[in-house]
């Protein structure tokens, strides 16, 4: 049995204009999962179900051994959640918030909080209303990190941040999993952030999980193959082809399951393989979503 | 991305930061230090082990493999890779082997001039 920090099985939730459908998710303890999707794809809804803030209509959700939403009180002690509405009191200082969290959570680590404040360049005496967006995100992250929760869930922590603040946040997340009993799940529209620190990647689009795998496998199996196709040559239909584009003699094939046999098959069909290019996570995400949408439309 | 990590580790070994036999950081330690995912560093360590650059003992961590001529060999491999790339690009541009040779000689001369 794998040790799973988060386990979704067949989870669904119906709204009037949006349906989250048959979500399966497995997040092993000690890893970081990046959750990628466009606006309105269902990222926040999924994370809210995970937190027990929204109740699913169907399926089971287990977080750190507790069934959600039934046992959410037990689980929440060990989860740190940061979302866009950060629920900080504008007229209070960061120091006041730190004292507040410390009084609720016995696991609060004062020395770690102080070192985070220094590293994030935050002044505890400053009131929340005087902080920039980036500083507020860092403040909210500090408040959960210093509790040392076993599971950290972040809804778009890096959206709208400058590059320096983003790297500070990513560094903070990486430090969490220096301890292999701790786990991070974060959503983002920024594929670069996810590509940098995630072990596992899940794509969500229109309320469905489109693909989920470990990052290196993702990057390994997606390729763009640039082919020169002489007139009269018909390319073989290979499994895993998600798109074919190009004009004249040059054709670009995008595949989600590349291996050297792919190139060999094209060669023996009479085409010349000009190049086999790796793809960035962003390109993979876009190609993946587009091909699914076309498939649904057809 | 794991290729970049492999490259960095090889460079550290080549310049002597990490001598032969020296214990190197655990996968998790290096991932945190470099702010890249654990799985990427894991992959880099696996490949380096396969190439004989490092040795991993279960439960004991990894260390740089013993082998006196390690660094020249690493550079040899890298040179072979780059030459392969140059040959491929030359073919794309329709250069003959002689023309490619001329280009390489020019590049080498330029490098020598820059160094002096």
Q: What is the mean pLDDT of chain A?
A: 90
Query: Looking at residues A111-116, what average pLDDT do you find?
Result: 94
Residues 6+ apart with CB under 8 A from A265: A236, A238
CATH of A4-215, one of 3.40.50.300, 3.40.50.12140, 1.10.10.10, 1.10.760.10: 3.40.50.300
Q: Domain ranges for chain A, please list them.
A: 4-215, 223-278
Q: Architecture of domain A223-278 in CATH?
A: 2-Layer Sandwich (3.30)
Please indicate, yes or no, whether residues B48 and B14 belong to a single structural domain of this protein.
yes
Query: Looking at residues A207-219, what average pLDDT do you find?
Result: 91
Placement of tokens 């660094």 in the chain: B71
pLDDT at A232: 84
Please indicate, yes or no, whether residues B57 and B28 belong to a single structural domain of this protein.
yes
Q: What is the mean pLDDT of chain B?
A: 85
Question: What distance in Å separates residue A33's CA from the closest CA in chain B?
Answer: 10
Are B23 and A201 in contact by the 8 Å Cβ rule? The answer is no
- A28 forms beta bridges with A4
Q: Each residue of A53-97: pLDDT tens digit?
A: 999 999 999 999 999 999 999 898 999 999 877 789 999 999 999
Cα dihedral A155, A157, A159, A160, rounded to 10, equals 140
Please indicate, yes or no, whether residues B35 and B83 belong to a single structural domain of this protein.
no
Please indicate, yes or no, whether residues B7 and B44 belong to a single structural domain of this protein.
yes
Please indicate, yes or no, whether residues B14 and B58 belong to a single structural domain of this protein.
yes
Please indicate, yes or no, whether residues B60 and B111 belong to a single structural domain of this protein.
no
CA distance A1 to A26: 12
- Cβ-defined contact of A170 to B35 (cutoff 8 Å): yes
User: Which helix H or strand E contains A212, and what residues bound it?
Assistant: strand A208-214
Phi–psi pair at B13, nearest 5 degrees: -70, -45
Give the residue ranges of chain B where pLDDT is below 70.
67-74
Which of B26, B47, B64 terminates a domain? The answer is B64
Please indicate, yes or no, whether residues B13 and B30 belong to a single structural domain of this protein.
yes
Please indicate, yes or no, whether residues B45 and B76 belong to a single structural domain of this protein.
no
Question: What distance in Å separates residue A14's CA from the closest CA in chain B?
Answer: 34
pLDDT at B71: 61
Region of A28 please: left (phi>0), alpha (psi -120 to 50) or beta.
beta
B50 touches chain A (CB under 8 A): no
- Cβ-defined contact of A174 to B1 (cutoff 8 Å): no
Q: Kindly report the number of other CB atoms within 10 A of residue B114's CB atom.
A: 7
CA distance A144 to A5: 17
* Percent of chain A clearing pLDDT 70 (strictly above): 99
Cis peptide before A48 (omega within 30 of 0): no
DSSP state of A29: T
CA distance B28 to B38: 6
Nearest to B31 among A174, A215, A274 (CB): A174
- A211 forms beta bridges with A203
Query: Looking at residues A259-285, what average pLDDT do you find?
Result: 89
DSSP state of A30: T
Question: What distance in Å separates residue A199's CA from the closest CA in chain B?
Answer: 5
CA end-to-end distance (rounded Å), chain B: 35
b/e code A28-37 from CB counts within 10 Å (16+ = b): bbbbbbbbbb
Residues 2-41 of chain B with CB under 8 A from chain A are 2, 28-29, 31-32, 35-40
CA distance B54 to A250: 43
Give the predicted TM-score (pTM) of the model: 0.82
Angle subtended by helix axes A163-176 and A133-145, to nearest 10: 10
B contact test, residue of A184, A197, A217, A277 with most B CBs within 10 A: A197
Please indicate, yes or no, whether residues B57 and B75 belong to a single structural domain of this protein.
no
Query: How many CB pairs lie under 8 A apart between chains A and B?
Result: 43
pLDDT at A202 > cutoff 60: yes
Residues 6+ apart with CB under 8 A from A107: A147, A148, A149
- Cβ-defined contact of B37 to A180 (cutoff 8 Å): no
- Cβ-defined contact of B37 to A167 (cutoff 8 Å): no
CA distance B51 to B70: 11
Q: Each residue of A118-166: pLDDT tens digit?
A: 999 999 999 999 999 899 999 999 999 999 999 999 998 888 888 998 9
Domains in chain B, number: 2
Q: Kindly report the number of other CB atoms within 10 A of residue B107's CB atom.
A: 11
Tell me what ipTM this predicted complex has: 0.78
Are A79 and A51 in contact by the 8 Å Cβ rule? The answer is yes
**Alpha helices for A26-84 (secondary structure H):** 43-50, 72-76
Are A158 and A190 in contact by the 8 Å Cβ rule? The answer is yes
CATH number of the domain bearing residue B44 = 1.10.10.10
Of residues A160 and A13, more confidently modeled = A13
| Range of the structural domain that residue B87 is part of | 70-115
């Amino acid at each position: 049995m794998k040790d799973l920090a988060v386990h979704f099985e067949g989870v669904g939730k119906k709204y009037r204009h949006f349906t989250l459908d048959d979500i399966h998710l497995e997040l092993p303890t000690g890893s970081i999962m990046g959750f990628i999707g466009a606006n309105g794809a269902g990222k926040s809804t999924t994370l809210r179900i995970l937190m027990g803030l929204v109740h699913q209509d169907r399926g089971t959700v287990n977080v750190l051994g507790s069934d959600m939403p039934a046992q959410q009180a037990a689980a929440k002690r060990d989860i740190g959640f940061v979302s866009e509405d950060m629920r900080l009191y504008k007229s209070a200082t960061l120091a006041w918030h730190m004292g507040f969290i410390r009084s609720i959570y016995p696991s609060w680590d004062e020395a770690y909080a102080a070192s985070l404040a220094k590293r994030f360049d935050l002044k505890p005496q400053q009131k929340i209303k005087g902080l920039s967006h980036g500083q507020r995100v860092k403040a909210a992250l500090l408040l959960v990190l210093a509790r040392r929760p076993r599971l950290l869930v972040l809804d778009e922590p890096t959206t709208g941040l400058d590059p320096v603040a983003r790297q500070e946040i990513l560094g903070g997340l990486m430090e969490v999993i220096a301890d292999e009993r701790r786990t991070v799940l974060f959503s983002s529209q920024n594929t670069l952030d996810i590509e940098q620190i995630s072990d596992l990647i899940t794509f969500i689009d229109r309320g469905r999980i489109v693909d989920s795998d470990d990052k290196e496998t993702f990057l390994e199996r997606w390729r763009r193959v640039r082919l020169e196709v002489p007139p009269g040559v018909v390319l073989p239909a290979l499994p895993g082809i998600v798109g074919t584009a190009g004009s004249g003699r040059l054709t670009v094939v995008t595949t989600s399951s590349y291996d050297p046999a792919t190139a060999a098959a094209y060669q023996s069909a009479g085409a010349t393989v000009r190049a086999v290019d790796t793809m960035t996570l962003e390109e993979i995400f876009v190609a993946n979503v587009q091909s699914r949408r076309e498939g649904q439309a057809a | 991305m794991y290729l970049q990590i492999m490259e960095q580790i090889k460079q550290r070994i080549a310049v002597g930061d990490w001598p032969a036999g020296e214990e190197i950081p655990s996968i998790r330690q290096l991932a945190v230090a470099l702010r890249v995912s654990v799985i990427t560093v894991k992959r880099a360590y696996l490949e380096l082990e396969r190439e004989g650059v490092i040795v991993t003992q279960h439960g004991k961590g990894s260390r740089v493999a013993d082998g006196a001529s390690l660094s020249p060999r690493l550079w040899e491999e890298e040179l072979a890779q780059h030459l392969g790339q140059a040959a491929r690009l030359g073919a794309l541009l329709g250069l003959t082997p002689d023309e490619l040779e001329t280009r390489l000689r020019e590049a080498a001369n330029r490098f020598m001039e820059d160094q002096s």
